[in-house]
Amino acid sequence: MAKRHYDWSNGPAELEPHSLTKHQVLVDYLIRYFQQRLLNARGRERIRITLVDGFCGGGRYQLKGTNDLVLGSPLRMLKAVEEASFKINQERPKPVLFDVQFVFVDKDKKALGHLREVLRQEGYEGAIGNAIHIVNAEFGAATEEVLARVAKHTPRSGTALFFLDQYGYAEVPASLIRKIFAHARDAEIVLTFHVSSFATYTNDELAQKISATLQIDIFKRLGGRSIEEIKDNEADWRRFIQAALYEALVDGCGAGFFTPFFIRGTGAGHGEYWLVHLSQHHRAQDVMKQVHWQHSNHFVHYGGAGLDMLAPQTMGFLQDFDGGFRFDDIARDKSDKELVVQLAKRIFTQAAPMPFSQVFAETCNGSPATASMYKNALATLVAEGEATMRSADGKPRYRARYMADTDIVDRPKQIKLFLSTTP
C-alpha cells in the first residue's frame, strides 16, 4: 500500500516533517555538490547540469501540525542553486555562470497548477519554458523526454541529478534506474523508499508483486523464511529491508556508488524512509555522506561503523548503537576507532601501494565514513608507524588536511604486530 498522494484541491497540501528533512538534504547536497565541482576549477567560467524532480508536487505545503507554509522541492531546488551561486561567486574575481536546466514532473494536474502559481509569485514565471520545464506525466512515462533534455544540455557528459521522492516503494523499478545511467553518464539519483509502508502491509503475496515490479528477487534474501517470520523480529526485518534494497538498487541498477541510510521517523526513531543516493563516482558519494553527518538528528542506519557496515554480522540493531547507528558523537567515535584498525588491516594485506582515491573508492560503499574521516584515520596510522603516505612526487604526508586523492598509501617498511588488537 503506497503512501497517500498529496491533496492540492484546496491550496497547499500537508507536508510531514520527515519530508521537510528530505527537502533540506536535497538543498544541502546541491550546495555542497557545486562547491565540490568548483573547488579546484578556478578558471572555470560555466557549470552545466540538469536538475530533475520526478515527483515534484506543488509549490508550497503546510507543515503538519502547524500553520507554517514551506516551499516544495522544486522551489527549494531553484533557491539552492541561487544560494550556491552566491556563496561560490562572492569569493571569485570572475563569476561562474550556473547554467542549470530544471525539469519538474508530476502526474497530478492540480499539483502542477499550484506549482505554476507559486513559481509566478516567487518571480520565476519568465523562466517557465526556458530554464524551467514542467511535465504532466508519470515519471516512468516522461523518462524519454527528460533524458532528451539532459542530452541536449550536456551532450557529452549527461550531467544530471534526479530527485525521485516517489509516493510509495514501487514507482521506480531497477530497469528505469539502469536506463537513466545508460543514457546519462554523469547522472546521480536520490531515491526514497517508503520503508514503514512496505513493512506494515507486506506479506508473501505482496512481496512477490514488489519483486516483479522492482525486477528483483526479494525471497532470495530471506533464507527460506517467510515475510511473517522476518517481521516478527524488528532487527531482522531491517536487515532484510537493507539487504533486499541493496540487491535491487545497487546490484541491479548499474550504480557504482551508493549510500543506504534511513530518515528517522518520530516516536522510537526507527527509519521510515530509505534515502538512497546512487552515483558513478566516489566523490559524489562522499559529498552525500557529509550531508548525512550534517543532519545527524534525522538519519540512522542499521549496520556497522567501520568498513564493513553491510556485512551480515553487522546488519540489524547492534548493542553498540541502541536503536541504530545515528551519525552522532557516539557513532563518530566508534567509526573513527574502527577505521584505524580496519584500514591498518587492509593496508597490511594490499598487494601494492595505491592512491588514496582508490582506497576510498574500493571501500566507501561499505562504510558510513567520509573521505575526511578516512584521512584522519590514515594520519593516525602514519603517526603510529603502521602506514605511509606520500605525494605523487614522493614527499611524505603526515597531516590529514594535506592528504590528496593522488597520494600513495602503503605499508611501512617495518611492520608492527597490530593485527591481533581490537578497538
Distant-in-sequence, close-in-space partners of 183: CB < 8 Å, separation ≥ 6: 147, 150, 151, 158
Q: Report the alpha-carbon distance of residue 388 to residue 353 in Å, rounded.
A: 10
H or E element in which residue 214 lies = helix 204-214
pLDDT band at 312 (very low <50, low <70, confident <90, very high): very low
Among 138-147, 203-212, 268-277, 412-421, top mean pLDDT goes to 138-147
Number of H helices, E strands in the chain: 13, 14
Residues 85-136: tens digit of each pLDDT: 999 999 888 899 999 999 999 999 999 999 999 999 999 999 999 999 999 9
- Residue 223, helix vs strand vs coil: coil
Q: Report the alpha-carbon distance of residue 314 to residue 355 in Å, rounded.
A: 28
Residues 177-208: tens digit of each pLDDT: 999 999 999 999 999 877 666 656 667 777 77
- Residue 253, helix vs strand vs coil: coil
Q: Report the alpha-carbon distance of residue 86 to residue 307 in Å, rounded.
A: 37
**For the whole prediction, is pTM greater than 0.95?**
no
| Greater pLDDT, 282 or 416 | 282
| Greater pLDDT, 315 or 310 | 310
| Greater pLDDT, 198 or 366 | 366
Distant-in-sequence, close-in-space partners of 326: CB < 8 Å, separation ≥ 6: 264, 269, 296, 299, 300
| Greater pLDDT, 220 or 229 | 229
- Residue 304, helix vs strand vs coil: coil
Report, as an integer, the average pLDDT of 145-154. Answer: 98
Q: Report the alpha-carbon distance of residue 303 to residue 337 in Å, rounded.
A: 16
Q: Taking the alpha carbons of 288, 291, 296, 297 in that order, is the dihedral positive or negative?
A: negative
Q: How many CB atoms lie within 10 A of CB 398?
A: 12
* Domains assigned to the chain: 13-300 (3.40.50.150), 336-410 (1.10.10)
User: What is the spatial order of strands in the sheet that 97-106 belongs to?
Assistant: 132-136, 97-106, 46-53, 160-164, 187-194, 271-279, 257-264, 299-300
List alpha helices for 302-420, DSSP H. 329-349, 356-363, 371-383
Instruction: Measure Cα distances from 320 to 108, 314, 369 in Å.
Output: 45, 10, 17
Report, as an integer, the average pLDDT of 198-225. Answer: 69
Beta bridge partners of 15: 63
pLDDT band at 311 (very low <50, low <70, confident <90, very high): very low
Beta bridge partners of 192: 275
Closest CA to 253 of 191, 297, 299: 191
Beta bridge partners of 119: none
CA angle (369 as vertex; 379, 164 as ends), nearest 5: 150
Indicate if the pLDDT at residue 250 is higher than 80: no
